[in-house]
Structure 1
């Protein structure tokens, strides 16, 4: 991954790089997945008054009727022993974490200031270089911004975003710690042991109106990730799209809602449940005009990576998981006979597809499942 001909700097800092290939260039196709892709594209191009209420989507009661679940509360210092319970849900709330509440709220102020600058300033300081940059979704009345882990800008802004940069850095530390705890609990090799650049982080800032679950079907941005860290600025109810359908959870103020993503599910060979996309805040009818700002740190992959099931960690003679990173350890990985449930695939192709085709008619990972598991 680190030796790819793509330069990782190009992913995060170049302005005029060519866009990734469209989903049609992928070589992994089936007649079923092609039909789903065609239907997704057609629905995505329908006028808003039709696209929001397709009959086929209304039949998916599992998507349109959320179940209410109490999220598992896990203290930061007790992460290692409590994770297995969270694997069955695909999400949990991280409490007593090291990120100061004051820093998070200052970062929120910085983010709001960025979102409020003029369109010209947005294009000047945050040019669109997919997935980085601004995007305005007129249909969903939503504006969002993807930033790299350094919150890079072109030139100096008229105001400081130092709190946002510091907050992003601290969230990334927590994210990498959680990822290490997850891979350790599953006895999987952590790719960052080979090279820290095998993963990267994106700060996703979004400001839009809350909406009912019925409208969320077929709307909202999705970008693939290993884990997502979503800071909870207030105690509010939000909806998550899980493998079993929509789930409604009540968040705790100043906690971090952690969601396990699609890449984590592939890495774990299907052992982890996952959440698709970002949590969506639910706004009560009397406050439907209220706008909400969300801030999520996504631990994800550089575009040039290939996604595949991770090998097992090496285990030392005394039974402890070996964290050393040398060739001997690589050769000693447990080559279990467990059936691999997912074919390897290009992260770039997959990320482009799920970002631009947002109608959840089918789990986007289904096309990559091995033929025995379709």
Structure 2
């Protein structure tokens, strides 16, 4: 039986709209590592009165703001002023030596990052009193941050990483250029080096004009982290993730400040510097999960094995999520890899 004329007209109009309407546009997103993803809330941890909830929130994302650190507000600017007067080109070869790499095996590019690296206990900072004072204070804060995550298997490490008379920390001052280009975009892929560390400390108020800082999270996504008045930005590194047996998320590489805008709103000159202080380990260390010791176990056994350079070949340690590995070989690969393309710890994970 034929349709009534009213129903027929309705179906005809519906068909015309389906055929003649333009197709729904397809939203094409960029490469995941190039997307700007702003975290709704950056965890806030107080060094004076830390609590389990804030530490857990920090460990879930791999970075956080730290207050109660006691760093004088004028000291970062004084340190930057000193470093800006250093002839960075004369220090290119010393960067590799400080990191423990062979100068002969590496070509040094004048545009490479970082522009300077110092060992806080070395001789290179003797002529930079403000920068040295800043680095030493930041090291103290960094060691306290490591202590917050120590001895708590729930949100950190199952044992203290730096027991008295045991494993030693190393502190590096990592100096980079403030990037050029649009501040709204993440840094270009592969234009900066990276080095393994436990925690990194970055002073965001050192660049008053910058709106935020870029960090690359554990999944390889860039995230823009806004400032918090007087707070340090702390990033959790790859060594800390292994020590926690995977409980802590990490940041790939170090924090990257946005370009400082000029008066006309465009990105400023790229000559300005940024300082990140890294708590890391001597290059001859072996990295492995720090698991809680059961009653009666020899607390020094694991550390003794690491100091002897014992590296697991099969990765079958009970309860471990990572195989033990040499920091020297890992650091070399990390320094030359592009962080966006793969998780540098993937090869050491135990499925």
TM-score where L is the length of structure 1 = 0.69
User: Does 2:324 correspond to 1:354?
Assistant: no
Aligned match for 1:200, one of 156, 159, 170: 170
1:217 maps to which residue? Answer: 189
Q: Is contact 2:243-2:289 (8 Å) kept?
A: yes
Task: Decide which structure has the larger Cα Rg and report it.
Answer: 2
How far apart in 2 are the matches of 1:198 and 1:60? Answer: 43
Show the 5 A alignment for 1:16-95.
61-69=31-39, 70-81=41-52, 82-95=54-67
How far did 1:80 drift?
Answer: 4.3
How far apart in 1 are the matches of 2:339 and 2:55? Answer: 30
Q: Which moved more, 1:276-285 or 1:163-172?
A: 276-285
Cα 1:128/1:64, change in 2 over 3 Å: closer
How far apart in 1 are the matches of 2:95 and 2:279? Answer: 22
Show the 5 A alignment for 1:1-374.
61-69=31-39, 70-81=41-52, 82-114=54-86, 117=87, 119-120=89-90, 122=91, 126=94, 128-131=96-99, 137-139=109-111, 142=113, 144-153=115-124, 160-186=127-153, 188-195=158-165, 197-211=167-181, 213=185, 215-232=187-204, 233-234=206-207, 236-244=211-219, 245-283=221-259, 286-312=266-292, 329-330=299-300, 339-370=319-350, 373=351
Deviations 1:171-218, CA, capped at 9 Å, x for gaps: 111101100111233352122114365321111111242446465222
Deviations 1:36-78, CA, capped at 9 Å, x for gaps: xxxxxxxxxxxxxxxxxxxxxx997321112101312222212
1:33 maps to which residue? Answer: none
Bigger RCO (CA 8 Å, 6+ sep)? 1
How far did 1:85 drift?
Answer: 1.2
Cα 1:217/1:310, change in 2 over 3 Å: same
How far apart in 2 are the matches of 1:119 and 1:171? Answer: 26
Q: Which moved more, 1:296-305 or 1:359-368?
A: 359-368
How far apart in 2 are the matches of 1:152 and 1:339? Answer: 42
2:13 maps to which residue? Answer: none
Give the structure with the higher percent helix: 1
Cα 1:281/1:137, change in 2 over 3 Å: farther
Partner SS state of residue 257, structure 1: strand
Any gaps of 5 or more consecutive residues in structure 1? 1-57, 317-326
Cα 1:301/1:127, change in 2 over 3 Å: closer
Aligned residues: CA RMSD: 3.3
Deviations 1:292-351, CA, capped at 9 Å, x for gaps: 3111111111111111001216789xxxxxxxxxx965589xxxx963111111100000
Partner SS state of residue 287, structure 1: coil
Partner SS state of residue 243, structure 1: coil
Partner SS state of residue 321, structure 2: coil
How far apart in 2 are the matches of 1:315 and 1:211? Answer: 56
How far did 1:359 drift?
Answer: 4.8
Q: Is contact 1:306-1:346 (8 Å) kept?
A: yes
Aligned residues: 292
Partner SS state of residue 85, structure 2: helix
Cα 1:315/1:175, change in 2 over 3 Å: farther
